[in-house]
Amino acid sequence: MIISYKIHTVSPYINWIYFFHAWGFQPRFAAIAHIHGCDACRAMWLTSFPEEERGKASEAMQLFKEANRMLDSLDRDYEVKTLFKLCKANADGDNLLMEERTSGVTLTLPLLRQQTPKKEGGPFLCLSDFVRPASSGVADIVGVFAASIDADMEGLYKQDPYKHLLVQTLSDRLAEAATEKMHEYVRKEAWGYAKDEHLSIADLLVEKYQGIRPAVGYPSLPDQSVNFLLDELLDMQQIGISLTENGAMYPHASVCGLMFAHPAAEYFAVGKIGNDQLEDYARR
C-alpha cells in the first residue's frame, strides 16, 4: 500500500534532536522545537542557558526558524511517499521466510545474531526470534516498508550551500517522520494489533508503542544488501526509490526496513561478527 503525505502532515513527527545533531548541536538545544513561538517564551528559553552557551542557543533558535520557513516553502510543491506490505512469515533459525502475497513465492531473508547480550546472562538476540517458528505450523506476519522524499528536492538550492544543506537535513528527517506516521497507521488500522493505542507524538518518538521498526543499516539490521530482498517484496520503484549496485538507496533521504508486532520485540546491536557467523551468514 502506498500512502503519500503532504509535508505539513508529517512535520509534527520530526525528531528534531537528530536534525540539530546533523548541524553539530547537542540534544539540549533541540528543545527549542518545543518552546512556544512568542518572543517572551523564546527569551525565557534563551536565558535558561549559562551565559557562555547563549550564543549557541541563539544560533539554534535561528536555525529552527529557518527550518520551519523551508518546510512551509517545500509544502507547496512536494510530498513524502511511503510504501508498506504485510507478509506471511515464519522464522527458520536466523532466517525469516517471507511470502510475497501476490505471487505466493517464499523469500528467505538471512539475519544476524547479536554478539554481546545487552545484560549479563541475557539472550543473544536475532530479529527472527520475534516471529513464530516454521515448526509451529502457524503463519505469523512481518511488515516491510519504505519511505522517500520527492527526488527533485535533492537538487534544490545547489547554488546556495546553506539552503542546500538545510533542505538535505530536513529531507532526511521528513523521510523518517513519514515512516513514523505510516507505522502508527499500520499498528492501529492496517495491521490493527494496537487498535486502542493512544500515544502522543512525543511518546511515539521515544518508541513507547508495541513492536519495533528496524531500518536497514541500523544496529540490528546492519547489512545494506538486505535492501535487494526488501525491494523484491516491495518494488520500491513505485515510490521512486532505486538501488545502486551496492544496495544504497536513491534518493538519499530514503529509509526501508521491517516491522515486528511481538510485545517483547526490542532493539539491539548485532555488533562485530566473528568468522563463524560470517561463514554461516554467507552460506545462508
Rounded to an integer, what is the distance from CA 16 to the centroid of its chain?
A: 14
Please report the pLDDT score of residue 122 as a whole number. Answer: 83
User: What is the SS3 assignment for 178?
Assistant: helix
Can you list the domains of the chain with their CATH numbers? 2-75 (no CATH), 80-283 (3.10.196.10)
Phi, psi of 62 (to 5 degrees): -70, -40
Place of cell 517564551: 41
Place of cell 527550518: 67
User: How far is it, in rounded angstroms, from Cα 279 to Cα 94?
Assistant: 13
Please report the pLDDT score of residue 117 as a whole number. Answer: 78
Q: Which residues of the chain have pLDDT under 50?
A: none
Please report the pLDDT score of residue 7 as a whole number. Answer: 96
pTM above 0.85, yes or no: yes
Q: Tens of pLDDT along 141-171?
A: 999 999 999 999 988 999 999 999 999 999 9
Please report the pLDDT score of residue 244 as a whole number. Answer: 95
Phi, psi of 137 (to 5 degrees): 75, 5
Please report the pLDDT score of residue 226 as a whole number. Answer: 95
Q: Tens of pLDDT along 48-93?
A: 999 999 999 999 999 999 999 999 999 999 999 999 999 999 999 9
What is the residue-wise DSSP string for 77-111? T-EEEEEEEEEEEEEETTEEEEE-TTT--EEEEE-
What is the residue-wise DSSP string for 25-58? --GGGGGGGGS-SSHHHHHHHHHTS-GGGHHHHH
